[in-house]
Amino acid sequence: MPKFYYKAQLIKQYKYYAFHKPYGVLSQFSEEREGDLTIGKYFNFPPDVYPCGRLDKDSEGLLLLTNDLIFKQKIMEPKNHVCKQYLCQLEGIIDSSSCQILESEVFISVNGKRYRTKAISADISNCPKTIQDRQPPVRYRKTIPDSWLMITIDEGKNRQVRKMLASVGYPVLRLIRWQIAELKLHFPVGSVIEIDPAQVLPH
């Protein structure tokens, strides 16, 4: 990476990346167990670049990485209410009344305590044609149909979307983070692209 100096002081070069995290990959550079797949096995990131938040091992989709701590704070700070949109494949056919409940008020467990939350929006959806089949494949129950939901939240509690959907009776078969602020998932699974921060936060 080239280095730039101004009046003999090193000017740090900020880097911004978007990663389409596959299922089964940890959102970190270190293994928890020998043989774990980590984000560092997909791309040779600069040594000072780290994820802006995380995605669970069993979730997929958009993950941002940067060495710009101010940008990272803007994304992760709860008071900033940065919206994140998730595409969810559910066990069972979700109905409009369940969507209305998600948008009004649901209770989940956070650190052993009852926590009230709601979705910014919850819309019955179809799976976009750009979404690739998961590897390994989703395990279905033949007797129970599935459906898709697009849900938007502006919080980031641990496994929040899964807990919210479980509270209205729909186990999540597949969870894909589709959008963070203004940036949508538009590149293949396992790919890393370099981005401009204005693609995520225009102002």
Q: What is the pLDDT of residue 143?
A: 92
Cα torsion angle, 193, 202, 125, 121, sign:
positive
- Report CA 142 to chain centroid distance, whole Å: 28
- pLDDT band of 19, cuts 50, 70, 90: very high
Does residue 58 have an active-site annotation?
no
Res 10: pLDDT: 59
Question: CB burial class (10 A; 0-12, 13-18, 19+) of residue 44?
Answer: exposed
Output the average pLDDT for the chain: 93
Kindly report, residue by residue over 23-67, the tens digit of the pLDDT: 999 999 999 999 999 999 999 999 999 999 999 999 999 999 999
For the chain, the maximum distance between any two Cα atoms, rounded to a whole number of angstroms, is 70
Segment 119-139, tens digit of pLDDT: 999 999 999 998 999 999 998
Provide the phi-psi class of 107: left if phi over 0, else alpha when psi is between -120 and 50, else beta.
beta
Fold of 13-80+182-203: Alpha-Beta Plaits (3.30.70)
Catalytic residue among 36, 48, 56, 133: 56
Range 83-180 has CATH code 3.40.190.10:
no
| Domain residue spans of the chain | 13-80+182-203, 83-180
Range picked from 3-7, 9-13, 139-143, 177-181 for highest mean pLDDT:
177-181
pTM: 0.92
- Asked whether the predicted pLDDT for residue 91 surpasses 70, the reply is yes
Query: Following DSSP, what letter does each residue of 90-139 receive, concatenated?
Result: EES---HHHHHHHHH-EEEEETTEEEEE--SEEEEE---TTPPPPSSPP-
13-80+182-203 and 83-180 share one fold: yes
